[in-house]
Amino acid sequence: MGRVVIPRGPIQAKGLLLACIKDDNPCIFLEPKILYRAAVEHVPVGDFTLPLTSAEVVVEGKDVTMVAWGTQIQVLREVCNMAQEKLGLSCELIDLRTIMPWDSETVIKVSE
């Protein structure tokens, strides 16, 4: 089964790209170049991979669950902050990372 992967920043890009290279399945790796210009992250020099099969809970919360990938993670992180400040809502933010096949198990588990 093939995979479609989209990172949210430079560290994610390196870890997911190396995971794609090592994976036996074909991968389509989408690069949101705007994040590379805007991101200020120190990318580790060593070899590391991130799991292609699991989403990541970026922000933990209990009232609302938001699911996104790539550049939308930064936008929804701001929305989580605004919802907390203005409405008192605790938002959960999940980065799918791999959008095909997506990690429905993590989304369902967190949403319960």
Nearest to 2 by CA among 26, 19, 24, 21: 26
Give the model confidence (pLDDT) of 28-65 as tens digits. 999 887 776 766 778 889 999 999 999 999 999 999 99
Give the pLDDT score at 112. Answer: 60
Domain span including residue 102:
3-111
How many folded domains does the chain comprise? 1
CATH number at residue 32: 3.40.50
What value does the mean pLDDT of the chain take? 91
Report strand pairing: 91-95 vs 64-68.
parallel
Rounded CA-CA distance 108/28 in Å is: 25
Structure token pair of residue 36 = 């590379």
- pTM confidence score: 0.88
Q: pLDDT above 90 covers what percent of the chain? A: 73
